[in-house]
A and B are shown apart, each in its own frame.
Chain A
Amino acid sequence: EVQLVESGGGLVQPGGSLRLSCAASGFTFSSYWMTWVRQAPGKGLEWVANIQQYGRDKFYVDSVRGRFTISRDNAKNSLYLQMNTLRVEDTAVYYCARDDCRGGNCYPNFEYWGQGTLVTVSS
């Protein structure tokens, strides 16, 4: 059974940093791109970032580029999101999901999701 479990959320002040983790199991983690999606309270979904199987290629939404860094450790079956210079508008539930990139093309077919972890940026 595929499982994705996020952790690392919490309350942080504006300008602060936080690192989210996503522990994967039930599939060959190193064979898949992985993605982060967030959802602000009462708002819609926003794609945040994704990463190629071996971390060579990474893509980001414009609003986090330069502040957030996606990474992974295939030996630990884990995905990470390092979030720096956090803003109030980064407050959201952050989900990790298995991405679907093949043959050099990416498809937004996120079949498996974690339960999400809440990040609150507030003074």
Chain B
Amino acid sequence: QSALAQPPSVSGSLGQSVTISCTGTSSDVVSYNRVSWYQQTPGTAPKLIIYEVSSRPSGVPDRFSGSKSGNTASLTISGLQAEDEADYYCISYTSSSTIYVFGTGTKVTVL
């Protein structure tokens, strides 16, 4: 089971929007609405920011949104803030024996 594909980095200016893609296969992203997104800053544990493609846990700002089309899930950060600078990972349930597969991770830089 290969990792889901994410761009290594994306950047945007304060207040702009950025979108991170997460590309999978028919074994995972295509077939299941079980895609989550995590935010991680250096030296800390990951934080859940989107679950089941587009739902937000309580306390997560609504500038974070998720969607899915075909084999690609996406995380959009609208109105980019300085504190959004972090690494972001997608993860999906997969029908393989592994059951979960993470994405390769994307570093978001706020210019």
Contacts and interface: CB of A to CB of B under 8 A. Distances in A.
A100 B35 CA distance: 12
Given A44-B104, A45-B46, A61 B34 contact: no
Interface in A92-120: 95, 100, 105-111, 113-116
Q: From DSSP, what is the main secondary structure of chain A's interface residues?
A: strand
State which size class the interface on A falls in: 20 to 34
A45 B3 CA distance: 10
Contacts of B36: 107-110
Contacts, number: 74
Given A47-B91, A107-B52, A113 B45 contact: yes
B38 interface: yes
A101 to B, nearest CB: 9
Interface of B: 1, 3, 34-36, 38, 40, 45-48, 51-52, 57, 87, 89, 91-93, 97-105
Given A44-B87, A45-B38, A107-B36, 10 more contacts: A44-B3, A45-B105, A50-B100, A61-B1, A65-B97, A105-B34, A106-B100, A107-B93, A108-B92, A108-B93
